[in-house]
Structure 1
Amino acid sequence: MNPITLTTVAEPLIRQALAEDITNEDVSTAAIMPDARPAAVDLIAKADGVLCGLDVFERTFAILDPETRVQRFAADGDSVCAGQTLATVTGDVRVLLSGERVALNYLQRMSGIATYTHCVATLLEGSTTQLVDTRKTTPNMRVFEKEAVRCGGGRNHRYNLSDGVLLKDNHIAAAGGVREAIEAARAHAPFVREIEVECETFAQVEEAIAAGADIIMLDNMDHDAMAKAVAFIDGRAKTECSGNIDAHNVQAIADLGIDFVSSGALTHSAPILDVSMKHLRMLDGNADSEAGVAGNNAPVTDIHRESGQ
């Protein structure tokens, strides 16, 4: 993940996730380990897939203790296999135990989306159509899930409602028609914004072309209707296909010459990739030499401190 995005957008969300999981203290860890002791634990893949989210995984532990170290044996975007050791995390054992679930939740979710996106993108190989995501993301997870789509070989559609103009069926109904909606958007939106309009019928496609739409989304049309629309548009606007597209049917549109296919399934239907932290071992010697945690006897509850302190 871009380091600036990780710090400004992702880190506050990671802190919220940690605060959700540790409201007062990690009772289990505090009971068995009241003081800092160095330890190490391995990150293991339990299924084949595409890895994504190691930066987020590492930052989760760094928020709890910036002295935590993650030695990586794989990188985001790598294809990994079951049983493969992906990383080793070393630090205060309390941090390893308290941060484990949140860190794994991010890594499993992001890797699952990257894996599924890679699967769908592979089915479009050899065509000119590019795979993009949608705004159908888990609340407060969009920055992570869209990063995972990119990691898996897809591209991002607009990030949010401020990022681009997309006139959907209800916008068109509110404006009074396709032409009216496009004209209103053209008059209001900054000149750098392209205007995309959702069309469900050939008549709407004709109206969108006449009104000067930049991108035409062919929504829930059958194959023949899309072929007719693409032939009519004939390069006068970019084309996008949308509507219940997933790994089962994406190849059916690969021959149409559509520029983009958007799929909400990339983020709302991808299963997680199973990864686990295993083989925790206490390290000999003092924390100063083994993990840099000597003298850090504060309980692992202060997740609001700056990670650089």
Structure 2
Amino acid sequence: MPFLLLVVLIVSACGNKETTNANNTSKSEAETVTYQSETGPIEVPAAPQRIVALTNGPNVLALGGNIVGIDQWTNMNPLFQEKLKGDEVVSEEDLEKIIELEPDLIIAGSHMKNLDKLNEIAPTVVYTWGKLDYLTQQIEIGKLLNKEKKAIEWVTDFKARAETAGEAIRAKIGNDATVSVIESGDKEFYVFGNNYARGTEILYQAMKLKMPEKVKELALESGVYTFSSEVLPEFAGDYIIFSKNPDGDNSFLETATWKNIPAVKNGRVIEINTKASTYSDPITLEYLLKIFEKSLLDN
């Protein structure tokens, strides 16, 4: 066979292979699956490449999803800032911005505006806050991103580790020892039940630690209870997880009301950063689990 003809055949074959690969890639990116959302079945990309997460961004990040648009609160969280560097901050009001991002999937809250318009831009899946527990929510995001196996593996492993840590902590501090999770606001305080982030899911659900009776009475069902500084001691457990805003007014920490609480006197206050603790995704949960293990076991 003449050399020139051989070269032509080889080049032609390579060109055909590249065309085939390009077609396969295009087909793969264009493939869709049916996701059973809370509003009904919806066609979504089998492998979404450009996600606008108006909610549940941390859950997406934990599974390695590629976010191009994010809500302002997640963007402000110190745990996620590095991962979100360069991403556009958007809300459901920023329709033109979202169009420019060319998303192939949008995740939104069921309470948000413009859901129909968002769905015209890209398939939009909505979640109602609090409808799913914190672990089931991660599995649902796994299903949505076609990464259910990875999500389930993490859930199984995390539950086992958190429960084991809980057993060790209860053995150390006593089965009847109480823990309260308290946060300071501008002019008020908050105490949390067992499903309101700030690590409450870990402490009360996974570790099975006890909350004070007054907290159980006023915050367990509602998730959070607001009170004034005068009654702060009434909500303090044997141990206090104090959610502290580093930019807030924390002058109350110098008051006699705070200093005379037994948990404070006994050095049983564990501070967590409010800005890094308001979600219940795997990244946040792993961060808080380490803090709780070290603080409660070393105390």
- Indicate whether the TM-score tops 0.5: no
Structure with greater contact order relative to length (CA < 8 Å, sep ≥ 6): 1
Higher helix share: 2
For normalisation by structure 2, the TM-score amounts to: 0.29
